[in-house]
Structure 1
Amino acid sequence: MTGRFARVLGLAAVLLATVACQTGPAQAAPVWEPSAQSAAARHDVVTWGASADQMGQGTADRGYRLVVHTSAAGSDLRVRLSNAFGDRPLTLDSVYAGLQSQGAALKPGSNKRLTFDGAGTVTVPAGATAWSDPLPGSLPAGSNLVVSLHSPDAAGPATGHWMAMQTSYAAQGDHTAEESAANWTETTGSWWYLDSVSVRPKNPATGAVVALGDSITDGWASTSDQNRRWPDYLARRLQKADTEVKGVADEGISGNKVLADGAGQAALNRLDRDVLSQPGVRSVFLFEGVNDIKAHSGVTAADLIAGYQEVVRRAHAAGKCVVASTVGPFEGWSEWDPAGEAVRQQVNQYIRTSGEFDGIADFDRILRSPYDQARMLPFLDGGDHIHPNDKGMQAMADSVDLASLDCDH
């Protein structure tokens, strides 16, 4: 306990910069922190997160009512707004946080205005992020938090998260202060401009784990609006366990690769922004690589191993532990071939035996069929032979050694 608390304080002053984007104006902009006291210094811990990506074009006088599911409990909620992929400043003139009642309706009395350095309006520079001021009051674990925001003049590339597996809402005009659902008649399956929520836990030694991954981590083939991604199941286990790790951030992007940009920035290119900049992170959970392997791009096991090693090096330099999982089976998916399977087996052998990680999860062993180890067990298969269903997601989360996430580095 004492060692972990000291480590949290010792790392509070680490400077975190936004990862460089290979294209567009987001290349040089830093993370923007409007408050004089950093989130880490206040012992804040991420309770929800979703990796930022480039969306379509922003729309002026547009509001979004975004539903997110928290993990760690705490007080003094803060939200992080992202303009990471914008090509111009983004002004948000009204941001509220409340608790969901049903659909777009909020629990009466729960909707509170957020401020930024004391102001009700914030302008986020192109390529940057902005944290709100702490909002007084407590937020229970496992809450359906609703963040409502409005921009009077949004234009150009928007930032958000495409595949939320969660229904949120949209409206023209500023209806953020309303608790009624009356004006929130449009739905969206994406999160817009919001990429992180933090709380201040009662125990200052409380930490978080960030899951860095692809569409499996993002929850594809799990049931929408039910929080059945494997990181959700993991979060529920952590709430009941005797561990100081309570926060979980899901930083999966569908189609994402470790080495190359494409469906979102490569894991190596978004590691700082999406993972290491999250407050209170104790461990990084690395579960990614199948998209590098199946793309027929000539990626070798040595290439992918070098990518993993870079994640470990950078995470360790930031004082974080790294838990890695083996790559799951995917024979039956259209891009499977024996050459890719050979790479997967070599990579998994490295993950299991190299000793370079602080912990190991063997999702391959959990998911694969005992009769054909290149294929997923049908009972756990979401139907396309690469994405697990709800049962598969739960089996993965249940197999994680929770003690491996609660480590010192």
Structure 2
Amino acid sequence: MIRTELPRHSARRARHAAVVLALALTALVAVPTASSARPAAATEVVTWAASADRLDAAVPGRTHRVVVHTSAGGRDLRVRLSNAFGEQPVTFGRAYAGPRASGAAVVPGRNRALTFRGAASVTVPPGGSVYSDPLPGTVRPGADLAISLYVRDAAGTATGHRMGLQTSYIAPEGDHAAEESDAAYTERTTFRHYLDAVVVGAPAGTGAVVALGDSITDGAVSTPDTNRRWPDFLAARLRDDRRTSLKGVANEGISGNKVLGDGAGVSALKRLDRDVLSQRGLRTVILLEGVNDIKATPAPTAAELIDGYRQIIARTHAAGACVAGATVMPYEGWGEWKESGEAVRREVNAFIRDSGAFDAVVDFDAVVRDPAAPARMLPGYDSGDHLHPNDAGMEAMSDRVDPRALRCSR
């Protein structure tokens, strides 16, 4: 159960908030008309997400403007604010959402106030999270949104996502959440403070894919501010494919993450419920993790890593979702590469391909490896560090995913 503390408001202020919310029937991105009335049945689907982790020290009295790129389109946007790693409560004084114009600026006339059980402010306890109320209006697929969060009170450790590969903005003093101008947002950051999911009401039957991974999924070395991570390319493909009802894509990659051990983020096993199984509309998980376990010292055996995969599969199946296993990609040339690790990688990949434990297999290894040197990445896909693919490699990975294989009966 999500626990929140809501500040008291006078009856006059509550009535005023209700009026403001009613007037906000103008669309978030497009103005609704009689012909675009909400369907009788709709499904909440995650349209954007980023894994929660520990960030820097929490700072009160500032406004964060987090830029996100949607996957699924829909109506009635809601955001999820997380204090998963905080030791103290966090109070958000106000929160707004609107389509981004450019930089930190919001499209004029489109910045809308979010509410939490009808209130403008919400306090999230340590370890907790909270969804906003639905914000009437339409959200387009493949759009940039600006989510503005005024942190009124905070202390201890801030929660958020470190490697955004997307510039967000900070107004270092005061509440500027309602402003459409970028004038107050004088600081830039790639951290995504407090925001960990955005959902929309999509047509009934719409589903979502969650990519659970490490730095390769997080987008390391892809071009910043261009949405060229492999889950971004996948989202564009699913959006344009009329044969699939999978339209939402959530990127739950954390750079340096492992299946079994904590470090850069808690292990995949520990964060599975919060980051993956909690996502609205979840149908299929694509699991691409293991290389950080394999190249660690000491490293697990192939059997230990496979047992971790089996636990993720079992828990995901118990939640009614499918799991597609992605093969671990080659990394010879990276400083931590060893022959012993390569042997583990090949044994693990044989399990992913041949065991039948996964509902589907996405053979990223076959896509990016050099046929002349199978322990290495193809030069055309190599960012230069021999571990992370470049933009072309990210797109090739996406192209390997068969949308039809992402569906199973659960």
TM-score by shorter chain over 0.5? yes
In the alignment, is the contact (CA less than 8 A) between 2:5 and 2:122 conserved in 1?
A: no
Please name the residue that 2:30 is paired with: none
Aligned equivalents of 1:31, 1:398: Cα separation in 2: 38
Please name the residue that 1:208 is paired with: 208
Residue 108 (structure 2) pairs with residue 111 (structure 1): no
Alignment of 1:76-87 (within 5 A): 76-87=76-87
CA deviations over 1:97-152 (Å, ceiling 9, x no partner): 01110101111111000000000000111101000000000000001011000111
Q: Which runs of 4+ in 1 moved over 2 A?
A: 30-35
Aligned equivalents of 1:318, 1:131: Cα separation in 2: 21
Aligned equivalents of 2:245, 2:389: Cα separation in 1: 28
Aligned equivalents of 1:233, 1:75: Cα separation in 2: 23
Structure 1 length-normalised TM: 0.90
In the alignment, is the contact (CA less than 8 A) between 1:34 and 1:131 conserved in 2?
A: no
Report the CA distance between 1:34 and its aligned residue: 9.2
Residue 262 (structure 2) pairs with residue 261 (structure 1): yes
Residue 338 (structure 2) pairs with residue 352 (structure 1): no
Alignment of 1:177-326 (within 5 A): 177-201=178-202, 203-241=203-241, 242-326=243-327
In the alignment, is the contact (CA less than 8 A) between 1:33 and 1:131 conserved in 2?
A: no
CA deviations over 1:134-189 (Å, ceiling 9, x no partner): 00000000010110001112111100000000000001211110000111111011
CA deviations over 1:177-228 (Å, ceiling 9, x no partner): 0000111111011100000000001x21000000000000000010000000
Please name the residue that 2:379 is paired with: 378
Aligned equivalents of 1:72, 1:280: Cα separation in 2: 11
Report the CA distance between 1:353 and its aligned residue: 0.1
Single out whichever of 102-111 and 266-275 deviates more from structure 2. 102-111
In the alignment, is the contact (CA less than 8 A) between 1:244 and 1:406 conserved in 2?
A: no
> Which letter does structure 2 place at the counterpart of 1:210?
V
> Which letter does structure 2 place at the counterpart of 1:185?
T
Alignment of 1:322-337 (within 5 A): 322-337=323-338
In the alignment, is the contact (CA less than 8 A) between 2:252 and 2:275 conserved in 1?
A: yes
In the alignment, is the contact (CA less than 8 A) between 2:4 and 2:124 conserved in 1?
A: no
CA deviations over 1:330-378 (Å, ceiling 9, x no partner): 0000000000000000000000000011110000000100110000000
Aligned equivalents of 2:232, 2:123: Cα separation in 1: 32
Q: Which has the larger radius of gyration?
A: 2
Alignment of 1:17-36 (within 5 A): 31-32=2-3
Identity between Structure 1 and Structure 2 (%): 59
In the alignment, is the contact (CA less than 8 A) between 1:113 and 1:177 conserved in 2?
A: yes
Aligned equivalents of 2:157, 2:145: Cα separation in 1: 26
Aligned equivalents of 2:254, 2:262: Cα separation in 1: 11
Aligned equivalents of 1:32, 1:378: Cα separation in 2: 50
Please name the residue that 2:16 is paired with: none
Report the CA distance between 1:407 and its aligned residue: 2.5
Report the CA distance between 1:33 and its aligned residue: 7.8
Please name the residue that 1:361 is paired with: 362
Structure 2 length-normalised TM: 0.90
CA-atom RMSD, angstroms? 1.3
Residue 61 (structure 2) pairs with residue 61 (structure 1): yes
Aligned equivalents of 2:93, 2:145: Cα separation in 1: 20
Aligned equivalents of 2:327, 2:308: Cα separation in 1: 14
> Which letter does structure 1 place at the counterpart of 2:68?
V
Q: Give SS of 2:138's match.
A: strand
CA deviations over 1:38-90 (Å, ceiling 9, x no partner): xxx96200000000001111001011000000000000000000000011111
Which consecutive unaligned segments of at least 5 residues does structure 2 have? Answer: 7-40
Aligned equivalents of 1:153, 1:116: Cα separation in 2: 17
Q: Give SS of 1:44's match.
A: strand
Q: Give SS of 2:399's match.
A: helix
Q: Give SS of 2:312's match.
A: helix
Aligned equivalents of 1:31, 1:358: Cα separation in 2: 31
Please name the residue that 1:121 is paired with: 121
Q: Give SS of 1:374's match.
A: strand
Aligned equivalents of 2:382, 2:311: Cα separation in 1: 31
